[in-house]
Amino acid sequence: MLFQRPSDDRLYQALIDRDASFDGRAFVGVTSTGIFCRLTCPARKPKPENCQFHETAAACLEAGFRPCKRCKPLQYGTESLVADLVERLNADPGRRWTEGDIIALGLDPSTVRRAFKRGLGVTFLELARLRRLQEGFTALGQGDSVIEAQLSASYDSASGFRAAMAKLLGLAPGGFRDDAPLRAAPISTPLGPMVAVCDAHSVHLLEFFDRKALAGELKRLVKDTPGGLGCGRFAPHTQIEAELDRYFAGERVVFETPPTLHGGPFAREVWTALRQIPAGETRSYGQLAESLGRPTASRAVARANGQNQIAIVIPCHRVIGADGALTGYGGGLHRKRALIALERQAAETKS
């Protein structure tokens, strides 16, 4: 049964009672402090007239509230239901999930589907399929045969596995080369799996698995790089993965893995300027254009921003609309919102 939002009076009583049944399904924004919380937050309770209730953490952020440091309502945009299923998925990433499995847990598939779309931008079953492909991708990088990788990904059909990998990465498993100067490897993050493409010295691409432009970006890399693309890891893979772990833990937001930029002079100029935006801050396209001495080039800046293929390291998520609204982001607005919130919280903690 879908969650029906109660009245504000009922939600305020749930806040007073710290009613756990509302955890992840309703949040309170406190106008006197500018902070939003779970209804189970142990902090001192605000007056009713200072409360605004919202159904999602994302809605609280859009209303201008900051996440509470005590109850941590922003778990990268997820709800408690989502967090529980993601934990189950992480425990067995190769499992082939069905709607029947969701029902067997006592959950309504439509409720799960909507919760995941709100929190992560994909349904649970879509995320489970991506995780299975990630397992197959990892197996290929470890030197397993295509059939072994297929089994790791829980695909019954070899042709189905090859087609799914080709659709995801723009290259069928047989197209990867053992002696390639570029290698692709999956990296797990709290916002979903990513793929990193590195050579022995730098990172060339870092994108979320479900980014629609990923296959095209990889095809261009393969076309422009003599020797093609392989599966596996170089030292920069290990370095960028460790830096991402610290980043998502809020411990640091400075990336030292060298990037190789694939773009024209203007695009590279924009990407360099993006890295100069302090973590926890944002800029509009117009402000970025002015900082480059090209105040009329807002649209060109936006195009270059969208062409960035090294997510997070080159922080295109820190660019917003002139009115403060979140604008397009290849990884999804839910991730852009979560990344900005994570960086702001880290910056506030350090200040």
Partners of residue 183 on adjacent β-strands: 198, 230
Which residues form the catalytic set?
316
The contacts of residue 293 (CB under 8 Å, 6+ apart) are: none
Q: What is the DSSP string of 162-226?
A: HHHHHHHHSS-GGG--TT-SEEEEEE--TT--EEEEE-SS-EEEEEETT-TTHHHHHHHHHHHST
* Token reading at 106: 């006592």
* Token reading at 203: 């990172």
Tell how far CA 187 is from the center of its chain. Answer: 12
Report strand pairing: 194-198 vs 203-208. Answer: antiparallel
Contact call for residues 185 and 176 (beta carbons, < 8 A): no
Cα–Cα distance, 163 to 145 (Å, whole number): 16
Q: What is the DSSP string of 40-72?
A: T--SPPPPGGGEEEESSHHHHHHTTPEEPTTT-
Partners of residue 330 on adjacent β-strands: none
Contact call for residues 317 and 283 (beta carbons, < 8 A): no
Cα–Cα distance, 286 to 283 (Å, whole number): 8
Query: CA torsion sign, 145 to 146 to 151 to 152?
Result: positive
